[in-house]
């Protein structure tokens, strides 16, 4: 599908990946319908999209409310006559051990990250089937294949999104809707304000997990999927390594990743409990979170060391298993 003149809906468009994607697609001539809870921030994104050469309208939307997501779809069709692409992107995060995570906060992650996507998919697929074409893009995470501690609600939601995408592809195949695509984008750690926005009950400040990739990298991957849809795409080489090792050496991965994430995803700096932006929007509203600029020499070393160490550990495990089989 050509991006130029396509009508694209993006949820969670006020910051991070959503905002980067809006600007990227606007620069390629797309017409955008932008949804987010923060109406003021959305107006800034609309201005940025128009400056980039695209057209955009904003709709204040809480994706946990199905009627508000339905309203986004109605606006897109009434204003532009169709929806070519729907990007489910709005998501929130929670850092806490499982037993210390408040139930209402935990539930809010699932409502936003899973039911928000369900609501978007319902609206998008209904319109796509009426048109017999369209691209649904679900922004997932490498944690859907490489889980981590302290984020069980987020990880569970991302596993759910990956499963949802696969189920939808199967149903569309049975219905012979060969021009409707469901794509899953699985980024590694991305430099966005997600980590500043996250709820946190660990007692330690959160940081982005090294290595950190720019949000524009994800935006370009989304643009590529619109032009040539694929079932899944991983953004960030570290994510590919993590998912491969979680799949081939799950026990080793869990032990190694638990220690690494405890040291690298949480800081030694103490902090108090916070609900982050789960129930109310919070600053900053920007594409970047500033995490790539904060890197030290040590962090730069870790960026290369983490994937290499996991890969090396997996190789050692494979060799050990082969040796055991030979002895048997």
d(CA 89, CA 105): 19
d(CA 235, CA 141): 9
Q: Are β-strands 266-270 and 204-206 bridged in parallel, bridged antiparallel, or unpaired?
A: antiparallel
d(CA 60, CA 39): 5
CATH number of 322's domain: 3.40.50.720
Retrieve residue 162's tokens: 């990956």
Range with lowest mean pLDDT among 42-51, 84-93, 226-235, 286-295: 286-295
Taking a C-beta distance cutoff of 8 angstroms, is the pair 24, 219 a contact? yes
Q: Tell me the pLDDT tens digit for each residue of 294-328.
A: 753 334 434 444 555 555 555 544 544 444 455 44
Residue 288 in domain: yes
Per-residue CA distances from 36 to 11, 135, 164, 176, 324 (Å): 6, 20, 22, 33, 54
Residue 265: name the closest of 193, 211, 305 by CA: 211
Taking a C-beta distance cutoff of 8 angstroms, is the pair 265, 204 a contact? no
Residue 56 in domain: yes
Q: Which residues are catalytic?
A: 154
Residue 144 in domain: yes
* Domain limits for position 278: 7-327
Residue 180 in domain: yes
pLDDT of residue 155: 98
Residue 230 in domain: yes
pLDDT band at 170 (very low <50, low <70, confident <90, very high): very high
Residue 228 in domain: yes
What is the average pLDDT value for the chain, to the nearest integer? 92
Of all residues in the chain, the percent with pLDDT exceeding 90 is 89
d(CA 198, CA 91): 10
CB-based burial label for 175 (10 Å; 0-12, 13-18, 19+): exposed
d(CA 215, CA 233): 15
pLDDT band at 293 (very low <50, low <70, confident <90, very high): confident
Taking a C-beta distance cutoff of 8 angstroms, is the pair 10, 34 a contact? yes
Taking a C-beta distance cutoff of 8 angstroms, is the pair 69, 89 a contact? no
d(CA 145, CA 21): 23
Give how far the C-alpha of residue 155 lies from the chain's centroid of Cα atoms, to the nearest Å.
11
Range with lowest mean pLDDT among 186-200, 203-217, 305-319: 305-319
pLDDT of residue 319: 42
Taking a C-beta distance cutoff of 8 angstroms, is the pair 212, 191 a contact? yes
pLDDT of residue 311: 52
Mean pLDDT within 283-295: 90
The pTM of the full predicted model, rounded to 2 decimals, is 0.91
pLDDT of residue 312: 52
Taking a C-beta distance cutoff of 8 angstroms, is the pair 272, 205 a contact? no
Q: Tell me the pLDDT tens digit for each residue of 23-70.
A: 999 999 999 999 999 999 999 999 999 999 999 999 999 999 999 999
143 Cβ neighbours under 8 A, 6+ residues apart? 151, 154, 155, 158
Residue 1 in domain: no
On the question of a cis peptide bond just before residue 268, with omega within 30 degrees of 0, the verdict is no
Looking at the structure of the chain, the number of domains it has is 1
Residue 239 in domain: yes
């Amino acid at each position: 599908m050509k991006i130029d003149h396509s009508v694209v809906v993006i949820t969670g468009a006020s910051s991070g990946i959503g905002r980067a994607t809006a600007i990227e697609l606007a620069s390629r001539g797309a017409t955008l319908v932008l949804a987010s809870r923060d109406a003021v921030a959305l107006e800034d994104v609309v201005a940025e999209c128009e400056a980039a050469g695209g057209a955009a309208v904003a709709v204040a939307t809480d994706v946990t409310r199905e009627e508000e997501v339905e309203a986004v779809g109605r606006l897109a069709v009434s204003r532009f006559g169709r929806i070519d692409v729907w990007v489910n992107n709005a998501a929130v995060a929670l850092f806490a051990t499982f037993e210390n995570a408040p139930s209402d906060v935990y539930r809010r992650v699932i409502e936003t990250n899973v039911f928000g996507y369900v609501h978007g998919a319902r609206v998008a697929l209904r319109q796509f089937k009426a048109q017999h074409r369209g691209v649904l893009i679900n922004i997932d995470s490498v944690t859907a294949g490489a889980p981590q501690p302290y984020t069980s609600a987020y990880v569970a939601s991302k596993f759910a999104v990956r499963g949802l995408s696969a189920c939808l592809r199967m149903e569309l195949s049975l219905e012979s809707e060969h021009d409707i695509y469901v794509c899953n984008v699985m980024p590694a750690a991305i430099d966005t304000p997600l980590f500043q926005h996250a709820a946190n009950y660990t007692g330690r400040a959160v940081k982005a997990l090294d290595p950190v990739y720019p949000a524009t990298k994800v935006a370009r991957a989304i643009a590529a999927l619109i032009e040539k849809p694929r079932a899944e795409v991983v953004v960030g080489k570290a994510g590919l390594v993590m998912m491969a090792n979680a799949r081939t050496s799950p026990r080793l991965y869990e032990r190694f990743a638990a220690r690494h994430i405890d040291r690298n995803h949480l800081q030694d700096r103490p902090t108090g409990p916070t609900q982050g932006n789960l129930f109310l929007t919070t600053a900053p509203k920007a594409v970047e979170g500033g995490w790539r600029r904060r890197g030290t020499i040590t962090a730069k070393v870790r960026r290369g060391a983490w994937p290499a160490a996991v890969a090396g550990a997996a190789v050692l495990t494979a060799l050990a298993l082969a040796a055991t089989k030979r002895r048997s």
